[in-house]
Amino acid sequence: MASVSWKAQELTVGELAERSGVATSALRYYERHGLIVSRRTTGNQRRYSRDTLRRVAFIRASQRVGIALETIRGVLELLPENRTPTEEDWAMVSHCWQEDLNKRIKRLEELRDELSNCIGCGCLSLKQCALTNPEDVYGRRGAGPARLSS
């Protein structure tokens, strides 16, 4: 693999993929869905500005904490002229997402704590279920693990 020159102002899709660690198919997907932009050469090849690397890193970091692409796109649309998120932008966004992340952490902790003896009334714990879910009261809430989805 050839390394990307730090002087390069524009990157091909292959160079962007190599440098960002994101597959070319994912980069094309991001572009189709308005997360990143490219210009086209006269030969119809994609060229990405170098700062797209930071934008892709922003997208990947957001995805790693479970933020949906639609939500990420909404945040990126708030930035003027498709500019790359700055450190201040990331601080603001991550603060906004903190409540959602805390809820996810809470759900994961509940799952961890209940997993050995109950799957949330789906129901895999027949011996204990008679004590914590007599007459299948959680079943009235609907299908699936009712205790873990609340």
- φ and ψ at 86, to 5 degrees? -90, 180
- Nearest partner of 58 among 29, 99, 30, 38, judged by Cα: 30
pLDDT digits (tens, 9 = 90+) for 84-136: 777 887 787 777 778 888 888 888 887 777 666 555 555 555 555 655 666 66
- Nearest partner of 76 among 31, 142, 17, judged by Cα: 31
Instruction: State the pLDDT at residue 103.
Output: 86
pLDDT at 67 over 70: yes
Instruction: State the pLDDT at residue 117.
Output: 57
Instruction: State the pLDDT at residue 29.
Output: 96
Q: Are the beta carbons of 100 and 65 closer than 8 angstroms?
A: no
Q: Considering the entire predicted model, what is its pTM?
A: 0.65
Instruction: State the pLDDT at residue 100.
Output: 81
The two structure tokens encoding residue 6:
């730090």
